[in-house]
Structure 1
Amino acid sequence: MAEGPVPEARWIETRDGLRLRAALWPEGTRGTVVMFQGRTEYIEKYSDAARHLAERGFAAAALDWQGQGLSTRSQADRRIGHVNDFNDFQTDVDAFLDHCAARRLPRPWHLLGHSMGGAIGLRALLRVLPFERAVFSAPMWGLKMLPQQRILGWTVSALGSSLGLSGRLTPGSGKVADPASQPFEGNLLTSDPEMFAWMKAQIQAHPDLALGGPSIGWLWSALREMHALARAAAPDVPTLTLLGTEEGIVDPDAIHVRMASWPKGALEMVEGARHEVLMEGAATRARLYDRIAAHLDG
């Protein structure tokens, strides 16, 4: 894989005192793409995106959300992915955008949200934050569950949270999107062995970046946030959403329903792609980033 631009890394602080790690790739003349990562992810995983964007003239910015990467983790067991409430991520967003403004990243600003970052990003658009255009990759507007799993998820997460068990690992959380201990065969992330090996090598080289399954509190908050987002009208922001035909983590039906009701939205299906649409083979990535650049240029 080709080397990309070197990021400018900083520690930033939220208004409630949490320390977050942020990275900027500030060189660009066509604007800045602010990248909202998914659950379990970290800045290093977005260096390939930053490289592709830089080649197309865009600056970029990325953040480790609270509870993952090298940002503050509240749990004694740092492998449990936990957040008290999804609204807490909006506190991260505010601190992050303040940092981008202080560093005078080139305008216009655009949003790129993947998976959980798609839920956080949609909420940010509904708050009318300063994004001119948006791109979503397999956004978490629903989780892929059987009907009985969905009922069980709501019941267990609600009951567990009410009993003070929100920080405990969700029972039976199964496969997680952390490739460090997973074989390539049967993985839900990418059909490209090279990109899978690249993600796996990052975790093996820096184990502190790794994250395991979600907490009961994360699940309870995520389910309520996805339900609330589904009831909201589409934001007045031109939006491109990318979804693989082999998606196995988020709910494709929720994405189809949302994009069908988005007047300024377009849904593009990526044949053969899995959850990490932007981490498929080199030819697919190049084509999709060309498509993204064309969308951002209007």
Structure 2
Amino acid sequence: MSQATPAFSTEHDLNTSEQQAFWQTVVQRTLTAADGITLAYMVALHPKAHASIVLSSGRVESYLKYQELVFDLYQQGYSVYALDHRGQGLSARMTINPHMGHVRRFNDYIDDFALFMHKIVLKQAAQPLFLLGHSMGGAIGTLYLKQHPDIFTAAAFSAPMYGIKLPMPKGFVRWLASRLDTSLNGGEPNFVLSGQNYKAVPFKGNDLTHSQTRYQAYRELYDAAPKLQLGSPTNHWLTESLDAADSCVLATAHIRTPILILQASEDKIVDNAAQNLAVSTHCQLKIIAGAAHEIFMEKDVYRNQALNYALDFFKCYVIKDEDKQAV
């Protein structure tokens, strides 16, 4: 009789002594991208892993923000890998102002991820390999799957950035951001209109989560580690990301890797209509009714539902993979 898997963490008891002890065993290192940018990453190797999960986080995020999630995935029997995307988290910035969310080409994110997979993950990860992405990390993951079709067995994306909620029509916003982009003429990148440095928004009225405890823990982490702080995106990031989001919707129709989209019904950050357009033969969608954008830092009722959907989806392919090996 198989052992019951442990329950997920709860918002009512965050940063437990068990989680703290676990995090002391996590490997944290850096690698260098082709253009010299230093990329931070983490590895949590499970001694009896039945599979591995690679995390691709969202804009402004770091793997440090996902300590609770990494712990939960490890407790479920997975080895876990995560990369901080260039220009954010513990990875190097590319702007004089470290608070600017910037990238020269959206494909740089995918190239970095491919380097991480080649240099670190594929050399040690237990198979099968699963991809778990959030928001911008979901867009990066999707385009990685298109360019590298035979690496991951399946992928689950929480509120993937297949479109961005905008105050005005997308075509106009893209045109305006392109016109205002000072980096196109070789200058220093500039914030989008009304953009600013990192600012800790109060919980009341935030667009990310309904869980006050998880939100507070997130803000306390960024206060304690100022290097993690990131403000608004640059105009160049916006034009690159709008184009990448459009590419994701088109890509899902051709990607062979099974994809599960976890859609937050109350999302105010990304465009759910674009996610709906991405549904195809190999791309299914589950709605987390009532959840805001940050599903993995939501109230337990939403977070647990999303994690169960994702892990049940992955387990289907663990079984299939084991069946293949038995033949």
TM-score > 0.5, shorter chain as reference = yes
Contact 2:110 / 2:141 at 8 angstroms: preserved in 1?
no
* Alignment partner, residue 114 of structure 2: 94
Any idea what SS the aligned residue of 2:231 has?
coil
Q: Does 1:225 align with 2:247?
A: no
Which runs of 5 or more structure 2 residues have no equivalent in the other structure? 1-13, 317-327
Any idea what SS the aligned residue of 1:181 has?
coil
Residue-by-residue CA offset, 1:127-173 (whole Å, 9 max, x unaligned): 11511000000000000124x35233211222234444571111124
The percentage of aligned residue pairs carrying the same residue is 29
Cα displacement (A) at 1:32: 0.8
Distance in 1 (alpha carbons) for counterparts of 2:27 and 2:125:
12
* Alignment partner, residue 9 of structure 1: 28
Number of equivalences: 292
Contact 1:67 / 1:82 at 8 angstroms: preserved in 2?
yes
1:266-285 matches, cutoff 5 A: 266-285=284-303
TM-score by length of 1: 0.92
Match for 2:136: what amino acid?
A: M
Q: Kindly tell me: are residues 10 and 102 of structure 1, through their superposed partners in 2, closer, same or farther at Cα, counting changes over 3 Å? A: farther
Q: Does 1:137 align with 2:155?
A: no
Distance in 1 (alpha carbons) for counterparts of 2:128 and 2:116:
16
Decide which of 16, 28, 36 is 2:56's aligned counterpart.
36
Distance in 1 (alpha carbons) for counterparts of 2:290 and 2:120:
35
* Alignment partner, residue 172 of structure 1: 194
Distance in 2 (alpha carbons) for counterparts of 1:79 and 1:48:
25
Distance in 1 (alpha carbons) for counterparts of 2:171 and 2:292:
26
Cα displacement (A) at 1:266: 1.9
* Alignment partner, residue 218 of structure 2: 199
Q: Which moved more, 1:225-234 or 1:199-208?
A: 225-234
Cα displacement (A) at 1:20: 0.6
Residue-by-residue CA offset, 1:238-264 (whole Å, 9 max, x unaligned): 1211111110000010001112xx212
Q: Does 1:70 align with 2:90?
A: yes
Distance in 1 (alpha carbons) for counterparts of 2:85 and 2:257:
24
Q: Which moved more, 1:284-293 or 1:84-93?
A: 284-293
Q: Which moved more, 1:115-124 or 1:94-103?
A: 94-103
Distance in 1 (alpha carbons) for counterparts of 2:34 and 2:185:
28
Distance in 2 (alpha carbons) for counterparts of 1:272 and 1:235:
29
Any idea what SS the aligned residue of 1:231 has?
helix
Q: Does 1:184 align with 2:206?
A: no
* Alignment partner, residue 214 of structure 1: 233
Which runs of 5 or more structure 1 residues have no equivalent in the other structure? none
Match for 2:305: what amino acid?
A: R
